[in-house]
Every structure is written in C-alpha cells, then in structure tokens.
Amino acid sequence: MPLKHKDFLGLRGVPGEEIDEILNTSELMKHILLQNHKKTPHLQGKSIVTLFYENSTRTRLSFELAGKYMSASASNVTASSSSVSKGETLIDTGKTIEMMGTDVLIIRHPLSGAPHHLAKHLKSSVINAGDGTNEHPTQALLDMFTIKSKKGRLQGVKVAIVGDILHSRVARSNIWGLNTMGAEIRVAAPPTLIPIGLDSMGVKVCRYIDQALEGADVVMALRLQKERQQRGLIPSLREYATLYGINKKRLALADKEAIVMHPGPMNRGVEINTDVADAEISEINEQVTNGVAVRMALLYLITRRRGQ
C-alpha cells in the first residue's frame, strides 16, 4: 500500500494501516541493517538531504545512514554553516536544495509548523525530523517499532510517558500514533509541564508518577528540555529527579516484564538513573538501531510512492 501523501509531517491523522505498513517494512529493513553487507539498491539514483536548524546526533545521522545503506546519495545542510546565517528564508533554502535534484528533504526546525510550510512550496517530499514542540513522527515510529518488537503488539499495551510533556514533540507524536494503534497511554509530569487539553488527546493524565507506572508494560522517560524551559517551571533539577526520575525502586511498580525507553539524549541522574538506563530492561540502545530501520522503511515507501 503506497503512502497517502507526498510528505510525512506528523502522526496526527495517519491511519493505522499506514503505520502498520511502515512498521512491517521496518522489520525487513532491520534484517538488512543487521547483515554484514549493508547495501541494497532500494534508493539507487535517489538523493536525500537533511536540513537541520537545531542540533542533533542520532536523528540526522540515522537518516543519512538509512539513505546510504539503500544506495541513495545523502547530504547534510546545517543552518549554522549555510546561507541561512546570511538571512536566506526557509523557502529559498528549501527551493535551492530541491533544484539540485533532491527527492527527499528532511527538516528539523525550532518553529512548530515549519516543515508543513516548506512542504507546500516544494515538489520534493518533505519529512519532519522534529518541529518545535509539535511533532517528531519518525521518533514515535521507532518507539512503536521497539514496543511492537518486544511486546508483540501495540493494541492494549500500557505505556507510561514520564517527564517534560509540555515541550516534547516526541510525546505528542507518540500520543497520536499509539492512540491510533490502540495502546493505553498514561502520562505523568509536574503540573507545570503538562500542556492544557492533554486529557482530550485520549491519554490518562496522572497526578502521581506511581499511578502512571502501576502495571505499565513500557516506561518512556523524556528528556527535561532545559533549552525550552522558561524559568521557573520546576523548582530545581534535584527536586525533579527525586519526584519524577525513573529509578529501580520506582520501576518495581511496573509490570515485571516492563521495558524502559528514552528517545535520547539523556540527562543521567535527572529524568533517568544510570542503574535503569544501563539495565537489561533498557531498550535505549536498541531504539537507536531501530531508528535507522524505520527511516530506511519510510524513505523507501515515500520514494516508491512518488514512482521515481
């Protein structure tokens, strides 16, 4: 089944069949990724470019490697070293990249909606690699893929999302996607880090972290986004760690087969303790590998859709 749209901008409104298609294709891609010889012709002759206006390690590199493993030409533009710093507009930069033969442009931007704006002006496919506090759909896809690989399903899986929900595009994309796939989502955070109207997104907002963790199959810790914090939302990092940090003792409340996830980068000792991050039950490293597989699947499906 081809993808519905030219672009992939968010998981809000994406039908379950489309998510299934991407996750199933990701499974095939993971086999390729784990082979000694990681080279397939799926994207031969295609060109992908990442355009990042914010820092990134794993997202940018995993798109680049995903493209390269499938024989695409893959290049990066970083805002700080491009004409963006000379005042070029987003559309002009995007158009310039498109006119060099780019099939897929992958963008990360600090403003919510920037990828949507760009997509309207380009014929190339645009993939959202994180826009402000709005969405980060490929992160949620890799999270769903990780959960499905471990739990065998998404339907009915109890997922506790803990941390800075207010600033988290990862949380938002996961909420849209996991809801569509029938998971049961609970969130816990200090009240100042819970966005208004969250309960209308089909999640259970818990006042106490213990309520969210009770019997959870998946515990997803989120990074406390210090760079997006207006001052005063939490009293201190220490208090936050004491009240909301994921540690071994807290985890005892979750299901005994529970897994722990984190999108990275982690603030060790703040939202997650080292004893948990490096434990057997932690899928944090596996998430990174799965991120490449999922991005390979998405790049393949999006270029195939275009019949290029």
- Which residues have CB under 8 Å from 239's CB, separation 6+? none
Residues 112-141 that bind ligand NCD (CB under 6 A): 130, 136, 139
Bridge pairing between strands 158-162 and 125-131: unpaired
Q: Measured between alpha carbons, how far is 18 from 183 in angstroms, rounded to an integer?
A: 16
Could you give the residue ranges of the DSSP H alpha helices within the chain? Answer: 16-33, 58-69, 90-98, 114-121, 137-151, 169-180, 209-213, 237-244, 248-251, 274-277, 284-305
Residues 166-195 that bind ligand NCD (CB under 6 A): 169-170
- Which residues have CB under 8 Å from 292's CB, separation 6+? 29, 33, 62, 65, 66, 69
Residue 62 as a binder of ligand NCD (CB under 6 A): the answer is no
Residue 295 as a binder of ligand NCD (CB under 6 A): the answer is no
Q: What is the closest distance, in whole angstroms, from the C-beta atom of residue 4 to ligand NCD in the complex?
A: 24
| Contact yes or no for 54/91 (Cβ under 8 A) | no
Residue 263 as a binder of ligand NCD (CB under 6 A): the answer is yes
- C-beta closer to ligand NCD: residue 95 or 228: 228
Residues 215-244 that bind ligand NCD (CB under 6 A): 223, 225
Number of residues that bind ligand NCD (CB under 6 A): 11
- C-beta closer to ligand NCD: residue 46 or 295: 295
- C-beta closer to ligand NCD: residue 136 or 295: 136
Q: What is the closest distance, in whole angstroms, from the C-beta atom of residue 139 to ligand NCD in the complex?
A: 5
Applying CB under 6 A, which residues contact ligand NCD?
58-59, 130, 136, 139, 169-170, 223, 225, 263-264
